[in-house]
Structure 1
Amino acid sequence: MAVLSISNAHLAYGHVALLDGASFSLEMGERVGLIGRNGTGKSSLLKILAQIDKLDDGLLQLQQGLTSVYVPQEPELRPEATIFDVVSEGVAEAKALRERYEIHDPEDDLEWVAERIEHLGAWNWEQRVEETLQRLNLDGSRIVGALSGGLKKRVALARALVAQPDVLLLDEPTNHLDLDAITWLEELLNGFKGSLLLITHDRSFLDNVANRIVELDRGQLRGYPGNFAAFTAAKAYELENEALFNARFDKLLAQEEIWIRKGVEARRTRSVARIQRLEAMRLQHAARRDVQGKVKLDIDTGGASGKIVAELDTVSKSYGGRAIVRDFSATILRGDKVGLVGANGAGKTTLLKMILGQLAPDTGKVQMGSKINVAYFDQMRDVLDLDATLADTISPGSEWIEIGNQRKHVKSYLGDFLFSPARANSPVKSLSGGERNRLLLARLFARPANVLVLDEPTNDLDIETLELLEELLADYDGTVFLVSHDRRFLDNVVTSTIVNEGDGRWREYEGGVQDWLIQSKRAAALRAKNEPAAVASAPAPAPAPVASPDALVVAKPKKLSYKEQRELDELPQRIAALEAEQTQLNALLNGSELYSQGAARIAEVTARAGEIDEQLLALMERWEVLDAK
């Protein structure tokens, strides 16, 4: 049953149709991920569904009595208020009704007020707020203005959830959240009882939360069952068919144009119906909105740096008595792609500045490499002059830029980043958040550099641009330092990950986020296994005897039981069977036949593929445990 829907929706800004006769419905209990290119109108659609903005034409229908809450990318919160006061805004009606009842105005209909209070659960609204704050691990007494971006996002989510809405509309909810907070948000949204519509470009987040993907593409809304992985396969098949149809259509149109231009004899015998069909084809071709081109990313590394970029020997750094970095050692070589992972405020920027020689450690030694040329991608976009034009931002005072041995006109270069020539003289302030990030990338890659420092480059970028950026960084000959909370992006780019493990301790792991999680899990299991055996306490009330050295010896691993040995012998066969089934399912998902078998079958195959991944991981871990014995 649909809780809200739009039909034959039209919305345009200037000459660009963001919605062109589009239709969409959100079912009860659905968790829908809304995706699409930057600037296609996703945020505008969310505001329309939240009844903040209106359609140019079309119909918006809401279920009677429906309550919905919209959380924008950058929530507006009163900086001088406490967290408790801001979250309480989510129950504003409940507060007002209870105050109205307690005043006892003789002219008021107190019976109706009492019924409404009962319906909203307004008698104990303070308890609802406190429970929500506790659930989201927020201190209600803190002042909002002093909070980090990640905590402000939590406060906005708390304000939305305390209202207990039927529909939750979220625009880029993972922006400013660290990895732990993103995992927490996934669990929170998976437990949400209402319907959810969210905009995000975090592919792992979509895979873990969404049960349907809706793409806004060239003014139309198209739904795909399952998570993002299922969408990717279905979309590839759809685009292949669309390209084939357009090629056939264009060939037929060209043939008809040749026929209509033939000599007098042909015109005498021409069919009126055929001429009418040609005119219809011309109109159809003119109205067709082709797939937007892809961003063309390229970068000039300039000269190569020395083999060693930086060498850190037991460096430490503290601020105000708090250890930010404690006894950290590492060697960064030319060509390394290093990810930095840690909670907001853990000290990623401080560590990065020490690696690059911009900040001296309190103790320890940092040895910088030679011939290093660094380019920075700024997370907060502070380097952008909002009143400057796009062209001046890329190449101030000149119409040309040089990238390696290539000389390009600035409009042509901006076109590589999907900015039309007409927009080259537009001010930066006219761009959306994703477009500003794309402009920053254009500015970054216009300068030669053999070391790239990217601080949250993925915020607001569309998925296609993210994937192209991944390819570019993977092929880049220089060194990359990447601060990001996008797990999929880190996994696809980095060769090692430096992780904050608390109390100023940092540790480098080979591989990306998933490799770190697996390695840290194994290390924790080994530590637990090697902990000293517990010493039995003496019966009360006699004093406990002093433990002898023999009692503190680490317990020796036991030999495998008959049942465990049999399980170990069977594991290779079970893993091989699952891997064979996994190969078959991947072939189905990557082929075209599956997507003609209906949504139920697609969802079934996708779910089974996910189950096999989990089962294989569990069997591998079990094998490691048994083999260690």
Structure 2
Amino acid sequence: MPLLTASGACLAYGHVPLLDHADFQLDKGERVALIGRNGSGKSSLLKALAGVGHLDDGDIWRQPALKLAYVPQEPPLNPESTVFEAVVDGMGDTSALLAEYHAVSHAMAEADADHETLLARMQELQTELDARGAWSYASQADRVIERFGLDPDAKVASLSGGQKKRLALAQALAIGPEVLLLDEPTNHLDLDAIAWLEEQLVSAGVTLLFITHDRRFLDRLATRIVELDRGKLASYPGSFTAYQERKEQELKDEALANARFDKLLKEEEVWIRKGVEARRTRAVFRVQRLDQLRAERAARREQQGRVDFNLDAGEKSGKVVAELVGVSKAFGEGDARKTVIRDFSCRILRGDKIGLIGPNGAGKTTLLKLILGQLEPDSGTVRLGTKMQVAYFDQFREALDPEAALTDVISPGSDTVEINGEKKHVIGYLGDFLFAPERARSPVKSLSGGERNRLLLARLFARPANVLVLDEPTNDLDIDTLELLENLLQDYPGTVFLVSHDRAFLDNVVTQVIAAEGNGVWREHVGGYDDWARWRVAQGARPSGFSDAPASNAASRKASSDTPVEKAAPPSVPGSASATPAKSKPVKLSYKEQRELDALPDRIAALEAEQATLTQRLEDPNLYANAPQEANAFAARLSAIDDELLELLGRWEELENKQKGG
């Protein structure tokens, strides 16, 4: 029996239907990804299914007493609430009592508190919460806050964008939902956080419907793809990769069928113009068929066009774009002073495509400003290259005036833009980025998130630039546009600095990464995200969840605080020389330790094989419906395997370092 259905769903803005008698069904245990082009109506459908939006026509059905949680792109959070208050806010009437009990218990710890009054109130609250059986809610809220690495007493207003997204996810999971609806859950999360969230959602066993443009996230989570295309919903069982293969064939078949149809229509149009022959009684059926063909052609909705990217690299910059030697930068005073860049050296050459990787708050923007000469270092030297023309893509879209017309954003005071030496009318140029002529004079504030990103790219590419700085350009862009942008950047002859949490985008664009190692230390690595991730695993590091810095082994932390950063190639074994430059005298392992070290690779391989098998089993939606106890056992075993692997990798590194004198 389905948990959630939509029947004959219709929704339109203006004359274009976003949903055109669309049908949808969500079954227990599924993890369904809803995909489609920007502006196709995905978020509107999700809101309708969640009960916070409305359809023009059609029916939404939810299983009676279904426990459903919905996390929108920009969650509505009260800035004056604490994290704990926000998490328990969705727990019905009990939430206010839990929030007050939490506040009173903290007030009791204050030295100047009125303990007698507070104790009396606490006893009243305890009695009321006991009567409601609400203590399980409180412990559940505490657990989920801890899992998401949040401070329960922090004010919502003080949280960063990534922390607010984590809070919204914690708020949704705290009620133990049967169905979870997520709209772009990876936006504002760093790479470790995204990997952590993937594991949580896979192991939680919750039925999931989510919107995302993160292709790695899609492939990891989705058991079925549902595409919203031209008002209709089409279902594709399996992974995103399987969907891409099938969809490509469908589009080829559609193009062929349309070509045949158009050819027949053209032949009938030629025939009808002959006049006398067409008016014979025995040919009336052909006239009727032509009318039907014309009606079908008028009703056909063509596949939405693709963005036409065209980038003017301008004049070549000097061979050396920037050279940094022993650069450090810190902020704050006294005990609060924090070093975000420590003794960093690198050399950026023309044509390099560099990805900056690190958790939120690690200092990626600060490092970019140092490299581009926009910020002075506290120590060290920065030498900038010559003939640099820099174009900057801002993730917060602060460069866009919400009241400005689209044409004024692209070409203020002029009707034309010049691209690669050729002048083009600004409305035609906007059309290349899928903005219809009738919207060219609309204000920026009328655009969706994805449309604003497209507008920023249009503005960025309207000016010659031989250095591109792209700060989270992938947020809200649909998959087709992402792939086109990838192709453009791959062929771009200038220098690219890319800050992104889209792992596939990083892998497809960058030639090297600069990654945060923690404690203000940054290290260069050849290759893309996957190359860096393999190096990291080889060092014995594990994803750090929501900590302030990526996890790293003790030896690399010591090395990072004492030594300058050098470009690192991935070593073949954990605890290699690149991670521990300062060596002590090698120590011969005991017989028992040597036997243990020799056995570790096989033990780790066996656990990873079991992990892969269990993950594959958990991705089967029928498992939750037919054998929920078995699914829970698999999820518990997966969690135990993670702990075992972490312990074994740490032991491997310890023995290797001991043997090599680390």
- Class of the TM-score when normalised by the shorter of the 2 chains: 0.7 to 0.9
1:224 lines up with 2:236 in the alignment:
yes
Q: Secondary structure of 1:312's partner?
A: strand
Contact map agreement 1:97 1:122 (CA 8 A) in 2: no
Shift in CA distance, 98/379, structure 1 to aligned 2, threshold 3 Å: closer
Contact map agreement 1:470 1:492 (CA 8 A) in 2: yes
Q: Which amino acid aligns with 1:232?
A: Q
Q: Partner of 2:553 in structure 1?
A: none
Q: Secondary structure of 1:482's partner?
A: strand
Q: Partner of 1:603 in structure 2?
A: none
Q: Partner of 2:199 in structure 1?
A: 187
Q: Partner of 2:25 in structure 1?
A: 25
Partners of 1:288 and 1:92 in 2: CA distance: 47
Contact map agreement 1:211 1:227 (CA 8 A) in 2: yes
Listed as ranges, the matches of 1:39-118 within 5 Å are 39-95=39-95
1:404 lines up with 2:416 in the alignment:
no
Q: Which amino acid aligns with 2:293?
A: M
How many residues align structurally?
537
Shift in CA distance, 297/46, structure 1 to aligned 2, threshold 3 Å: same
Q: Which amino acid aligns with 1:528?
A: G
The alpha carbon displacement at 1:217 in A equals 0.5
Q: Partner of 1:535 in structure 2?
A: none
Shift in CA distance, 226/119, structure 1 to aligned 2, threshold 3 Å: farther
Partners of 1:277 and 1:253 in 2: CA distance: 10
The alpha carbon displacement at 1:43 in A equals 0.7
Moved more, 154-163 or 86-95: 86-95
CA offset digits 1:486-505 (Å, max 9, x no partner): 00000000000000010011
Listed as ranges, the matches of 1:92-491 within 5 Å are 92-95=92-95, 122-320=134-332, 321-491=337-507
Partners of 1:447 and 1:198 in 2: CA distance: 37
Moved more, 445-454 or 315-324: 315-324
Contact map agreement 2:85 2:95 (CA 8 A) in 1: no
Partners of 1:10 and 1:67 in 2: CA distance: 25
Q: Partner of 2:613 in structure 1?
A: none
The alpha carbon displacement at 1:98 in A equals 9.2
CA offset digits 1:437-475 (Å, max 9, x no partner): 000000000011100000000000011000000000110
Contact map agreement 1:530 1:554 (CA 8 A) in 2: no
CA offset digits 1:555-597 (Å, max 9, x no partner): 5999x99xx9xx99xxxxxxxxxxxxxxxxxxxxxxxxxxxxx
CA offset digits 1:164-197 (Å, max 9, x no partner): 1221111111111000110111111112333111
CA offset digits 1:267-296 (Å, max 9, x no partner): 315433332222111111100001011100
Shift in CA distance, 354/281, structure 1 to aligned 2, threshold 3 Å: same
Partners of 2:302 and 2:591 in 1: CA distance: 65
Contact map agreement 2:89 2:96 (CA 8 A) in 1: no
Q: Which amino acid aligns with 2:449?
A: G
Contact map agreement 1:95 1:122 (CA 8 A) in 2: no
Partners of 1:120 and 1:297 in 2: CA distance: 60
Shift in CA distance, 530/291, structure 1 to aligned 2, threshold 3 Å: closer
- The RMSD of aligned alpha carbons is 3.0
Partners of 2:97 and 2:22 in 1: CA distance: 39
Contact map agreement 1:83 1:139 (CA 8 A) in 2: yes
Counterpart among 552, 575, 594 of residue 528 in structure 1: 575
Partners of 1:268 and 1:446 in 2: CA distance: 58
Q: Secondary structure of 1:509's partner?
A: strand
Listed as ranges, the matches of 1:484-499 within 5 Å are 484-499=500-515
Contact map agreement 1:334 1:478 (CA 8 A) in 2: yes
Partners of 1:20 and 1:206 in 2: CA distance: 25
Q: Partner of 2:587 in structure 1?
A: 553
TM norm structure 1: 0.81
Partners of 1:275 and 1:366 in 2: CA distance: 77
Shift in CA distance, 376/119, structure 1 to aligned 2, threshold 3 Å: farther
Partners of 1:25 and 1:235 in 2: CA distance: 20
Moved more, 413-422 or 122-131: 122-131
1:15 lines up with 2:15 in the alignment:
yes
Partners of 1:357 and 1:515 in 2: CA distance: 29
Partners of 2:412 and 2:146 in 1: CA distance: 51
Shift in CA distance, 128/240, structure 1 to aligned 2, threshold 3 Å: same
Q: Which amino acid aligns with 1:11?
A: L
Shift in CA distance, 120/490, structure 1 to aligned 2, threshold 3 Å: farther
Contact map agreement 1:94 1:121 (CA 8 A) in 2: no
Moved more, 328-337 or 122-131: 122-131
Question: Where in structure 1 are there 5+ consecutive unaligned residues?
Answer: 100-116, 532-548, 569-620, 622-628
The alpha carbon displacement at 1:259 in A equals 1.8
CA offset digits 1:493-543 (Å, max 9, x no partner): 000000001001100101111010112333447453779xxxxxxxxxxxx
Q: Secondary structure of 1:5's partner?
A: strand
Partners of 1:130 and 1:152 in 2: CA distance: 17
Contact map agreement 1:168 1:194 (CA 8 A) in 2: yes
The alpha carbon displacement at 1:93 in A equals 3.4
The alpha carbon displacement at 1:207 in A equals 0.7
CA offset digits 1:596-619 (Å, max 9, x no partner): xxxxxxxxxxxxxxxxxxxxxxxx
The alpha carbon displacement at 1:124 in A equals 2.8
Q: Partner of 1:500 in structure 2?
A: 516
TM norm structure 2: 0.77
Q: Partner of 2:106 in structure 1?
A: none
Partners of 2:12 and 2:130 in 1: CA distance: 43
Partners of 1:121 and 1:174 in 2: CA distance: 35
Q: Partner of 1:597 in structure 2?
A: none
Partners of 2:292 and 2:2 in 1: CA distance: 36
CA offset digits 1:362-405 (Å, max 9, x no partner): 11111110000100001101111111111111011111111121
Question: Where in structure 2 are there 5+ consecutive unaligned residues?
Answer: 100-128, 541-571, 579-583, 603-648, 650-659
The alpha carbon displacement at 1:317 in A equals 1.1
Q: Secondary structure of 1:90's partner?
A: coil
Identity of aligned residues (%): 61
Partners of 1:408 and 1:2 in 2: CA distance: 53
Q: Secondary structure of 2:91's partner?
A: helix
Q: Partner of 1:617 in structure 2?
A: none
Q: Secondary structure of 1:11's partner?
A: strand
Partners of 1:225 and 1:121 in 2: CA distance: 42
Contact map agreement 1:212 1:226 (CA 8 A) in 2: yes
Q: Which amino acid aligns with 1:261?
A: R
